[in-house]
Amino acid sequence: MLHLLIPAVRLVESEVRIIFIVNGLSQRELHFLSNVYPRAPLLRLPTLPRAIWSHGTVISLLLRTSPRDFGILDHDFFLFDVSIFRQLEFADNEYAICLTGWRNDVTGLHFPGTHFLYLRVAPLRRLIHQYSVDANVYKRPPHTTSSALSALGLSIENPPKEYQNFFDSFLLLSALAMHHGLASRLLKPTQNSFTHVGSTSMGSQLTKSPLHHYLNARFIARLEDEDVANEYLCRGLASVGSAAHFRNLLEPETADRIDALIARVDQHVSAHRHQSASGRG
């Protein structure tokens, strides 16, 4: 999904150190990414062809091994207000800082979203070892967590996201953190400071909505590598000339929002590059 990832990274690359988690990329994609960011570290996960590690498994790996606190940025999360990075300092009782979240209506508990997430490693690692859990999805929470979840009013009948019948990625670990008196902080940025597209991961692309096909077609057309663009076309993410077709299937307001997002990304990337060039001068 480099047609989304690279524009998203270009919005923030001047503010933070980027480490790419290479999860299921083809050799062609990996070559392109390495050319665009030759100095950025790449953590390449071993996978079978066209397979990926789950989101929760990747977070678990990082929590178990990272020597320092770290942040996660989804490949389709476009952050326009980079001053947000200067708010990423933990209070003593915090285990996570986020830009999106979920409130459980039954308990009133607030859970962090993983789209833009800054994690405090030490307390979360202690919980992983104490309860023998990790950041994965749990269809049935292990018995080691029963007492803690009961005290919070959570169960498989009332998981953090009430519309689900399981504990989604990182949510069981979040619940245990809250049981131990830790909190997450939902940042309150200025209006329109970010856009999270969502539902763009590879896999079921052939059943995506016209909105996602139009979004993909527009971004793929802008890729700076023709081979990668053709690979995405072969995977069914879009087809040659499909942007106009899918735009006609959308409400004009919806298509206009996608066009506005792309224009805004271009504007901010251009401004960052100009600022960087001026700084070097």
Please report the pLDDT score of residue 204 as a whole number.
Answer: 47
Please report the pLDDT score of residue 121 as a whole number.
Answer: 98
CA distance 225 to 98: 33
- Report the b/e string of 144-158 with b at 16+ CB within 10 A: ebeebbeebebeeee
Of the residues 139, 154, 186, the one at which a domain ends: 186
Please report the pLDDT score of residue 259 as a whole number.
Answer: 95
Calculate the CA 40 to chain-centre distance: 18
> Is the domain of 57 the same as that of 178?
yes
> Is the domain of 140 the same as that of 82?
yes
> Is the domain of 71 the same as that of 158?
yes
3-state SS assignment for residue 157: coil
CB 78 within 8 A of CB 12: no
> Is the domain of 163 the same as that of 61?
yes
Please report the pLDDT score of residue 202 as a whole number.
Answer: 52
Domain that holds residue 258: 205-274
Of the residues 125, 155, 186, the one at which a domain ends: 186
Please report the pLDDT score of residue 28 as a whole number.
Answer: 94
- The pLDDT averaged over each successive group of 10 residues in the chain (281 residues) is 94 93 92 94 88 92 96 94 95 97 96 96 98 96 96 96 95 98 94 85 60 89 89 78 87 94 92 66 56
User: How many structural domains is the chain composed of?
Assistant: 2
Q: Looking at the domain assignment, is residue 4 inside a domain?
A: no
3-state SS assignment for residue 167: strand
